[in-house]
């Protein structure tokens, strides 16, 4: 144990931020002017600290094996400094690891398991999410089109960014796959006049959005269904499809089938926008140093990431043609810090909403998750890509002449032109 204590003290001395550590026996080491104070209640937490296993340390915090006082921004700066190496490199494996991961991906993404996994996260508590999300409860990467935007302004900018990329027009049939609390679904209906259908596996979100649809008098052309994407009716194709923050839940082994399903749901010449988190490394489906396991256990069971190159490959295998790719990685870092700061500012209210011992564990998990993901996006360990695509086109010579049956003009300026 003395070697562990020695390693811990060396870690503390090398940190860019002053930290004080209280041992299980009450002994204190580290800086007197500490900005972060850690109280280890279990000796196993000291070993995890010495090894730089930040994801396991996060679990220790959730389980009450250690307490942390200080800004979550400082805590994440400390976490990045104690890592033994890149969490992207640490998560790599050989061909056998890849085969096992594929088999596990197939097994854990049945329709029934996906429903349970989505409900585990999104049905935690609507009131809890409302504390730190924007008023529309848009739970995905915002778009800070201009410096100084608030999170609410940036989320509206993101909703409009997607609608403009999709070139939505009045009367078009629009599908939102994984519609969340209805931000994009309702924005598209109210601002672009589309006939909009959203689907979710979250019972809470389904009920919330249907209440909004009724309150806004949109029942004639907006609907929200509790439905798995694999069960969507293909008999009436949609003009435009958006999938925001959803394909991370599909599973790497199912991506080709997922994109093929979107293609079958889309009319020829229509557009689909896939907006989702991607891996920073070519081969890892999660981050190393225990971070991926933490997310799997406490936040997103069944979540799997893949590199943008694999997204484009499986999209192509699914019969879609990639048209426009945009990386919003720093936008998501800023989004997550906004969420983290908002949650940190209302911890007493969050504890009251979640309630009890399990509620405290959930709150601790979300504090680590929001700040930790912000750190991950800042370091480039994970990214966020929007991919605009259309069904593979046959040979034709009029694609640059704005034919009425094609939605994409093959010129990018329409996305950025002021409305």
> Each residue of 338-366: pLDDT tens digit?
999 999 999 999 999 998 888 898 899 89
Burial track 178-196 (b if 16+ CB lie within 10 A, e otherwise): bbbbbbbbbbbbeebebbb
Ranges of the chain with pLDDT below 70: 1-4, 89-123, 283-290, 300, 302, 418-419
CA angle 104, 105, 106 (to 5 degrees): 90
Per-residue pLDDT of 125-151, as tens digits, reads 889 999 999 999 999 999 999 989 999
Specify the pLDDT at position 104: 42
pLDDT confidence of residue 198: 98
Query: According to the 3-state scheme, what is the secondary structure of 159-208?
Result: HHHHHHHCCCCCCCEEEEECCCCCHHHHHHHHHHCCEEEEEECCHHHHHH
pLDDT of amino acid 163: 97
Which strand (E) or helix (H) includes residue 377?
helix 356-379
User: Which segments of the chain belong to CATH 3.40.50.150?
Assistant: 95-416
Distance CA 389, CA 338 (A): 30
Q: Tell me which fold the domain 2-84 belongs to.
A: Nonspecific Lipid-transfer Protein; Chain A (3.30.1050)
Question: For the segment 393-406, what is each residue's pLDDT rounded down to a tens digit?
Answer: 877 889 999 999 89
CA atoms of 74 and 132, how far apart (whole Å): 20
What stretch(es) of the chain map to CATH 3.30.1050.10? 2-84
Q: 242: which residues sit within 8 A by CB, 6+ positions away?
A: 162, 166, 174, 175, 176, 177, 184, 188, 272, 273, 275
What are the structure tokens assigned to 135, written together?
């008023």
Q: What is the pLDDT of residue 280?
A: 87
3-state DSSP assignment of residue 292: helix
Residue 373 bears catalytic tag: yes
Half-sphere exposure of 363 (CA within 13 A, CB side): 24
Helix (H, G, I), strand (E, B) or coil at 77: helix
Pick the CATH number of 95-416 from 1.10.357.10, 3.30.70.1170, 3.40.50.150, 3.40.50.300: 3.40.50.150
Structure confidence by residue, pLDDT tens digits, 223-272: 999 999 999 999 999 999 999 998 888 888 889 999 999 999 999 999 99
Task: Show the beta-strand stretches assigned E in 186-319.
Answer: 195-200, 222-226, 238-244, 266-279
Confidence (pLDDT) at 58: 85
Full 3-state SS string of 313-360: HHHHHCCEEEEEEEECHHHHHHHHHHHHHHHHCCHHHHHHHHCHHHHH
Q: What is the pLDDT of residue 97?
A: 41
Q: How is residue 315 written in tokens?
A: 């999209």
């Amino acid at each position: 144990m003395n070697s562990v204590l020695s390693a811990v003290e060396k870690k503390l001395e090398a940190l860019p931020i002053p930290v004080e550590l209280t041992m299980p026996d009450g002994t204190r080491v580290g800086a007197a002017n500490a900005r972060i104070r850690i109280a280890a209640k279990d000796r196993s937490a000291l070993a995890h600290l010495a090894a730089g296993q930040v994801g396991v340390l996060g679990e220790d915090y959730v389980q009450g094996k250690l307490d942390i006082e200080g800004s979550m921004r400082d805590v994440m700066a400390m976490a990045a400094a104690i890592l033994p190496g890149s969490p992207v490199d640490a998560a790599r494996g050989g061909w056998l690891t890849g085969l096992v991961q594929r088999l596990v991906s197939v097994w854990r993404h049945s329709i029934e398991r996906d429903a349970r996994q989505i409900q585990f996260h999104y049905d935690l508590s609507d009131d809890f999410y409302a504390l730190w999300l924007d008023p529309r409860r848009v739970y995905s990467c915002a778009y800070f089109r201009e410096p100084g935007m608030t999170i609410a302004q940036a989320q509206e900018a993101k909703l409009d960014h997607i609608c403009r990329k999709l070139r939505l027009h009045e009367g078009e049939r629009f599908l939102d796959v994984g519609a969340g609390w209805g931000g994009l679904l309702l924005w598209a209906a109210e601002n672009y006049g589309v006939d909009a259908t959203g689907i979710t596996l979250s019972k809470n979100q389904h009920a919330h959005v249907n209440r909004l649809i009724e309150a806004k008098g949109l029942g004639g052309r907006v609907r929200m269904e509790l439905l798995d994407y694999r069960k969507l009716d293909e008999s009436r194709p949609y003009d435009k499809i958006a999938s925001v923050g959803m394909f991370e839940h599909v599973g790497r082994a199912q991506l080709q089938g997922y994109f093929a399903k979107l293609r079958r749901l889309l009319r020829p010449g229509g557009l689909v926008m896939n907006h989702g988190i991607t891996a920073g490394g070519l081969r890892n489906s999660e981050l190393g140093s225990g971070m991926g396991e933490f997310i799997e256990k406490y936040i997103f069971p069944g979540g799997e990431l893949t590199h943008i190159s694999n997204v484009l490959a499986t999209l192509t295998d699914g019969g879609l043609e990639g048209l426009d790719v945009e990386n919003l990685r720093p936008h998501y870092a800023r989004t997550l810090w906004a969420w983290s700061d908002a949650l940190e500012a209302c911890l007493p209210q969050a504890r009251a909403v979640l309630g009890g011992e399990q509620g405290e564990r959930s709150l601790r998990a979300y504090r680590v998750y929001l700040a930790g993901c912000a750190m991950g996006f800042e370091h480039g360990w994970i990214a966020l890509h929007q991919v605009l695509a259309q069904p593979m086109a046959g040979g034709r010579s009029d694609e640059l002449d704005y034919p009425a049956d094609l939605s994409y003009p093959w010129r990018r300026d329409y996305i950025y032109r002021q409305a």
